[in-house]
């Protein structure tokens, strides 16, 4: 007899205002156009708040505020003093971690255990890590005595890790002495706005960090603004290409963190139960809304059936539902548009002849959800093997030799991440060295640390975030 399931809902109270303005020059400023848009909770479809639509004029004001702060306060400040502000932000994130986690989960749909144990923890860690660099920048680059900041940075982030991506951008930028205009994603602006409030409460000089909310047009206005010295973009490859074209021939610096279609390679000699856990976290973490998700599983032929059997059993145990329930593994899909995109790709997989496997649980009556899914019988030409699905959908293919695995893994326009599971150290190294991916995890997946650089090859973008390498885009030599 099945035991009754008792949910354990996170109840930390969070104050959400009815309306949010932009944070520009240390003040909360109405949109010049007066327009707002709703942000909703994808698990309930309820409106959470009205958000200001950033116009070109708003961007212009924010860039002017960032320029003034750069010239007047931030660049002239002693680096050790700059560090104190960044540490202060880091500590405030830690102190308000519960609140940030609940807000992230409500606005974006991810399980509370992930926002609590991953997103917020990593966001704070990034501020702590880069704060430590602020007065040691002369050691950051070989041959550069005193590297200088770049100036005003325009940062544009996506909806899958809203707070964390904002931290990845803001922490290194301001630690190096730059000032920032941040454009959060349309569906998940709330934690970036709370981060702005944290900057305000940390007494950060006005204009060092500015947040202008809005949609793609707001982002495009930031990219095009003549007063911006560098654009740091994380998002889709399609928008990344548009930005690169816009900036071609300009003096602006650019880093792009784009999409991925990572291979997770499992050899027959790997400890399979452990590998299955890595496969599950590789694709179902954050509902698969992960640029570095292990979305192509390459299994050595002799263990294919065993892996499929184990995975079938394992996905039945994943709890899908209320993202605020501390036991939830699969939360809500971030938006209706993303839900439709995932459905369309699943349909294409079935139509092209692959076999769909899904967990059998019921879906909640409200909200946007997709069951944990995987396909067998996938060929490399199928769309589900080539295109980024950005959902809880895995495509399984097989290989015989290590070289065949490498060739299949590299057969993608992307090159962000990859995983290798084998009991043999030498094989692990050999495969890792031949994979064209910015990050390769061996016998693990989705591990992050602020000291470790992250970034892509080819259509996954260029530039690195994290570690010493993550300082370079923010420093002029």
**Active-site amino acid positions:** 257, 291
**Contact letters for ligand NAP, residues 350-389 (x by CB under 6 A):** --------------------------------------x-
Tell me whether residue 51 or residue 89 sits nearer to ligand NAP (CB atom): 51
CB 35 within 8 A of CB 53: yes
Is residue 239 involved in binding ligand NAP (CB under 6 A)? Answer: yes
Is residue 260 involved in binding ligand NAP (CB under 6 A)? Answer: yes
SS3 19: strand
Out of 390, 399, 421, 474, the only residue in the binding site for ligand NAP (CB under 6 A) is 390
Is residue 459 involved in binding ligand NAP (CB under 6 A)? Answer: no
The DSSP call for residue 138 is: G
Is residue 187 involved in binding Mg ion (CB under 5 A)? Answer: yes
Is residue 186 involved in binding ligand NAP (CB under 6 A)? Answer: yes
- Give the C-alpha separation, 197 to 93, whole Å: 11
28-37-170 Cα angle (round to 5): 50
Q: Interface residues for ligand NAP in 97-156 (CB under 6 A)?
A: 156
Tell me whether residue 31 or residue 334 sits nearer to Mg ion (CB atom): 334
CB 172 within 8 A of CB 147: no
Q: Which stretch binds ligand NAP (CB under 6 A): 37-45, 70-78, 230-238, 298-306?
A: 230-238
Percentages (nearest 5) of helix, strand, coil residues in the chain: 40, 20, 40
107 interacts with, out of ligand NAP, Mg ion, none, CB within 5 to 8 A per kind: Mg ion
Q: Which stretch binds Mg ion (CB under 5 A): 32-40, 236-244, 364-372, 437-445?
A: 32-40
Q: Which two tokens stand for residue 291?
A: 């640029």
Is residue 219 involved in binding ligand NAP (CB under 6 A)? Answer: yes
Sheet with strand 152-156: strands edge to edge: 27-29, 22-24, 209-211, 179-183, 152-156, 230-234, 253-257, 461-462
CB 264 within 8 A of CB 297: yes
Out of 120, 182, 291, 409, the only residue in the binding site for ligand NAP (CB under 6 A) is 291
Is residue 422 involved in binding Mg ion (CB under 5 A)? Answer: no
SS3 80: helix
Comparing CA positions, the residue from 198, 148, 202 lying closest to residue 177 is 148
- Give the C-alpha separation, 203 to 308, whole Å: 54
Tell me whether residue 206 or residue 259 sits nearer to ligand NAP (CB atom): 259
Is residue 229 involved in binding ligand NAP (CB under 6 A)? Answer: no
- Is residue 347 within a helix (H) or strand (E), and if so which, with residue range? helix 336-351
Q: Which stretch binds ligand NAP (CB under 6 A): 81-89, 257-265, 277-285, 310-318?
A: 257-265
Q: Which stretch binds Mg ion (CB under 5 A): 57-65, 182-190, 203-211, 462-470?
A: 182-190
Q: Which residues bind Mg ion (CB under 5 A)?
A: 39, 107, 187
């Amino acid at each position: 007899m099945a035991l009754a399931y008792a949910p354990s809902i996170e109840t930390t109270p969070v104050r959400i205002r009815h309306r949010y303005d932009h944070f520009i020059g240390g003040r909360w400023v109405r949109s010049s156009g007066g327009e707002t848009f709703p942000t909703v909770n994808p698990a309930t479809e309820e409106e959470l708040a009205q958000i200001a639509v950033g116009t070109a004029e708003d961007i212009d004001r924010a860039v002017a505020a960032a320029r003034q702060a750069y010239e007047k306060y931030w660049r002239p400040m002693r680096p050790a003093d700059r560090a104190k502000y960044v540490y202060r932000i880091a500590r405030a994130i830690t102190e308000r971690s519960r609140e940030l986690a609940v807000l992230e989960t409500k606005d974006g749909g991810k399980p509370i255990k992930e926002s609590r144990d991953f997103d917020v923890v990593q966001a704070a860690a990034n501020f702590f890590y880069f704060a430590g660099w602020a007065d040691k920048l002369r050691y950051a680059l070989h041959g550069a005595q005193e590297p200088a900041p770049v100036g005003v940075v325009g940062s544009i982030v996506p909806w899958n890790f809203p707070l964390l991506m904002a931290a990845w951008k803001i922490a290194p930028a301001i630690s190096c002495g730059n000032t920032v205009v941040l454009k959060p994603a349309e569906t998940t602006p709330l934690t970036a706005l709370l981060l702005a409030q944290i900057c305000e409460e940390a007494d950060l000089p006005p204009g060092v960090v500015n947040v202008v909310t809005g949609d793609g047009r707001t982002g495009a206005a930031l990219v095009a603004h003549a007063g911006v010295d560098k654009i740091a973009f994380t998002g889709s490859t399609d928008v990344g290409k548009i930005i690169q074209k816009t900036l071609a021939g300009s003096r602006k610096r650019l880093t792009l963190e784009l999409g991925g279609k990572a291979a997770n390679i499992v050899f027959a000699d790997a400890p399979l139960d452990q590998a299955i856990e890595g496969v599950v976290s590789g694709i179902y973490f954050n509902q698969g809304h992960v640029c570095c998700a292990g979305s192509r599983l390459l299994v050595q032929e002799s263990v294919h059936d065993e892996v499929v059997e184990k995975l079938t059993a394992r996905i039945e145990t994943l709890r899908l539902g209320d993202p605020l329930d501390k036991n939830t593994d699969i939360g809500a899909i971030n938006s209706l548009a993303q839900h439709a995109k995932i459905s369309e790709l699943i349909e294409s997989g079935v139509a092209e002849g692959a076999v769909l496997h899904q967990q059998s649980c019921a879906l909640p009556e409200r909200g946007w959800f997709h069951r944990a899914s995987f396909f067998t019988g996938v060929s490399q030409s199928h769309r589900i093997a080539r295109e980024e699905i950005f959902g809880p959908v895995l495509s399984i293919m097989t290989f015989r030799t290590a070289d065949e695995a490498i060739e299949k893994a590299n057969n993608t326009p992307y090159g962000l991440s990859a995983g290798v599971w084998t009991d043999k150290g030498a094989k692990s190294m050999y495969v890792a060295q031949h994979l064209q991916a910015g990050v390769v995890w061996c016998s693990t997946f989705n591990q992050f640390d602020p000291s470790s650089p992250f970034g892509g090859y080819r259509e996954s973008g260029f530039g690195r975030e994290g570690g010493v390498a993550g300082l370079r885009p923010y420093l002029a030599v």
